[in-house]
């Protein structure tokens, strides 16, 4: 209890205060979430992933370990969730929605602030790299999963190349590896827009929570939340040990993998009509429940 209370107070509470503000704004003003989601999806997030990728100072070995960890955790949870979905005979649309909610984590607007508050700048740099890889997966594989329920596989694949985050990540890696200098006016604009995405997406979480109804599909929402908040962290601890992650790299990676369902999944589900109500429900429940599960995970690795 002595360890848990400082974590809850210093790390988790500041994030949830911003989420609560978004919730209250929605209750008071009845905001239209779609324009906010689209601005975040098409403008702010690409700037954030470009900026974090271009500036990353994590060494080569550390980068590949974090990349490998992110890919392996995503693949493992994806296979587990796919097996559950097939065993329960989900429809194609529900299978896509279930995979979206269990595989893709809120590594950016929730994970980055938590890692900064918990582990400082070193944790933020490693979390940013995890987020970059996660964002690339979310906006490629995630877009495919979200759109395949309403589109052919070929059209779903085409949708991947319409998402600007893919190009933001690619450009960021090129700038980093080539040690290029981005012109100062461009760098200032990109950094400013990227920083705006973190509080805006936290506000978006609160707005989405205020709009979410938990009527129906409660058992499936509970199942997806269990996989996201209990199974995924367990897998993360095992893979971190197997890959030999140490120190702040281990702390940041496990913390990122233990995050609740990504808000981006709600954006994707809304954009491509992939059971958006169910996805929003899982975002709601997993976000609230993460107060407990994430506090426990942080206590185990700090």
CA 217 to chain centre: 23
Stretch 15-30: mean pLDDT: 91
Domains of the chain, with CATH numbers?
4-301 (1.20.1530.20)
Q: Is-above-0.75 flag for pTM?
A: yes
Please give the pLDDT value at position 87: 95
- Of the given ranges (97-106, 138-147, 158-167, 245-254), which has the lowest mean pLDDT? 158-167
pLDDT over 80 at 107, yes or no: yes
Burial of 296 (0-12, 13-18, 19+ CB in 10 A): middle
Cα-Cα-Cα-Cα torsion 72, 76, 82, 84, nearest 10 degrees, comes to -160
5-15 residue pLDDT tens: 788 888 888 88
Sorting pLDDT into bands at 50, 70 and 90, what band is 241? Answer: very high
Residue 105 phi/psi, 5° resolution? -105, 160
CA distances (Å), 179 to each of 127, 172, 186, 260, in order? 21, 10, 16, 34
Stretch 172-176: mean pLDDT: 84
Highest mean pLDDT among 48-52, 96-100, 235-239: 235-239
pLDDT over 60 at 1, yes or no: no
Number of residues assigned to the chain: 302
Contact 135, 107 (CB under 8 A): yes
Please give the pLDDT value at position 166: 73
pLDDT over 70 at 159, yes or no: no
42-54 residue pLDDT tens: 888 888 888 877 8
CA 25 to chain centre: 23
Q: Which residue has the higher pLDDT, 291 or 138?
A: 291
Average per-residue pLDDT for the chain = 85
């Amino acid at each position: 209890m002595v360890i848990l209370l400082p974590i809850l107070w210093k790390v988790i509470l500041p994030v949830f205060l911003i989420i609560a503000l978004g919730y209250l704004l929605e209750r008071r003003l009845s905001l239209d979430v779609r324009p906010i989601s689209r601005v975040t999806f098409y403008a702010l997030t690409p700037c954030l992933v470009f900026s974090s990728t271009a500036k990353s100072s994590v060494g080569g070995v550390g980068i590949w370990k974090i990349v490998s960890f992110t890919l392996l955790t995503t693949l493992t949870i994806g296979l587990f969730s796919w097996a559950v979905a097939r065993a329960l005979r989900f429809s194609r649309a529900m299978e896509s929605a279930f995979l979206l909610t269990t595989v893709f984590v809120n590594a950016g607007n929730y994970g980055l602030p938590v890692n900064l508050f918990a582990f400082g700048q070193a944790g933020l740099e490693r979390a940013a790299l995890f987020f970059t890889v996660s964002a690339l997966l979310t906006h490629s594989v995630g877009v495919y999963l979200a759109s395949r329920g309403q589109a052919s596989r070929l059209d779903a694949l085409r949708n991947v190349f319409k998402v600007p985050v893919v190009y933001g990540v690619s450009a960021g890696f090129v700038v980093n590896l080539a040690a290029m200098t981005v012109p100062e006016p461009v760098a200032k604009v990109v950094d400013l827009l990227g920083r705006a995405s973190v509080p805006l997406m936290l506000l978006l979480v609160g707005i989405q929570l205020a709009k979410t109804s938990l009527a129906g599909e409660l058992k499936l929402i509970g199942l997806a939340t269990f996989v996201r908040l209990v199974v995924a962290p367990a897998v993360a601890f095992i893979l971190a040990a197997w890959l030999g992650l140490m120190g702040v790299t281990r702390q940041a990676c496990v913390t990122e993998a233990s995050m609740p369902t990504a808000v981006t999944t709600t954006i994707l589900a809304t954009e491509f009509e992939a059971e958006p109500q169910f996805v929003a429900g899982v975002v709601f429940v997993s976000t609230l429940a993460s107060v407990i599960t994430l506090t426990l995970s942080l206590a185990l690795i700090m």
